[in-house]
Amino acid sequence: MEYRYAGDANEKLFEAYQSDADPYPTNVSVCFPEREHRRGEIAYLQELFFPTCWNAPELVRDELAILDMLDELGDLFHAGICPYPDVNANEVVTNVLDTLPEIRTLLKRDAEAAYKGDPAAKSYTEIIRSYPGFLAIAMQRVAHILYEEGAVEYARELTEYAKTQTGIDIHPGAEIGEYFFIDHGTGVVIGETVTVGDWVRLYQDVTLGALHFEEQEGTQHALKKGYERHPDIGDHVVIGAGTKVLGSVTVGDHVSIGANSWVTDDIPDHTKVYITNHPTQERKRYDKEKDAKIN
């Protein structure tokens, strides 16, 4: 093992576990069925964030067990970062592990947003263990720190793996606020330069993406990199299923965007956006006798 963690995240996580109370699961004797085919980093992070949901009661009982797991996770991070040049892997890994207690706090708020925002949600445990949107944001919050620390390519590896598990594509560069919830989630795409405020809820097949791309000057067939090309979403925003918010536009606070909307201009605060002219649906009853002969 090449990496040894010397920070204080183990102490903070241990204290956080002890302070947990309902509605978060605290029973260390509960044993859920094991899940296979998980990438190692994902499994460690799930256990460190919510040990009683992922069969890791030893973390709640023993602070040294947390330290051992941080070392193992750090070793995986280190191995994943090292192949990429110009990154101080030791420094990056330590900085990322130091943030895990703060990320855990954010994830508890995300779980709260999911519970309050989904009439079908029965418990926080259900959300933590089974909601694809929760897994996607958990991995993105970690990957975002890696991204900010300069381990951009490795950060992308983690979010791409999360996408294979959830169908949700959140770039590690996106800045996501508190109390974030993606309901259902399949087909959601959030681009690199997106910013999202607090208490934002998205539904399936939403795209927060670019409207068009600028070309790199002096380089044939190459697109420009590193510029703002995605939306900024305010606080207390709901974006309905199938909606596309495209380009460097601003969606204000307390905005509700109905399903299948196409947004390419700024939306001011306290606004509802919805489609008024839906395609006309036609229905025609079939002839049972003719249909029977055909079939």
What digits encode the pLDDT tens for the residues 242-263?
A: 999 999 999 999 999 999 999 9
Distances in Å between the alpha carbon of 242 and those of 43, 255, 258, 262, 270?
Answer: 31, 16, 9, 9, 21
Class of domain 187-216+225-277: mainly beta
Report the pLDDT value the prediction gives residue 25, as an integer from 0 to 100.
84
Is the pLDDT at 35 greater than 70? The verdict is no
Report the pLDDT value the prediction gives residue 34, as an integer from 0 to 100.
67
Tell me the domain boundaries of the chain. 36-167, 187-216+225-277
Angle between helices 132-148 and 40-49 (to 10 degrees): 100
Is the pLDDT at 41 greater than 90? The verdict is yes
What digits encode the pLDDT tens for the residues 66-75?
A: 999 999 999 9
Q: Considering the entire predicted model, what is its pTM?
A: 0.89
What digits encode the pLDDT tens for the residues 189-230?
A: 999 999 999 999 999 999 999 998 778 777 877 877 877 899
Counting Cα atoms < 13 Å in the Cβ hemisphere of 282 gives 2
Order of strands, edge to edge, in the sheet holding 200-202?
A: 181-182, 200-202, 237-239, 256-257, 272-273
What digits encode the pLDDT tens for the residues 107-136?
A: 999 999 999 999 999 999 999 999 999 999
Class of domain 36-167: mainly alpha
Report the pLDDT value the prediction gives residue 291, as an integer from 0 to 100.
60
What digits encode the pLDDT tens for the residues 137-168?
A: 999 999 999 999 999 999 999 999 999 999 99
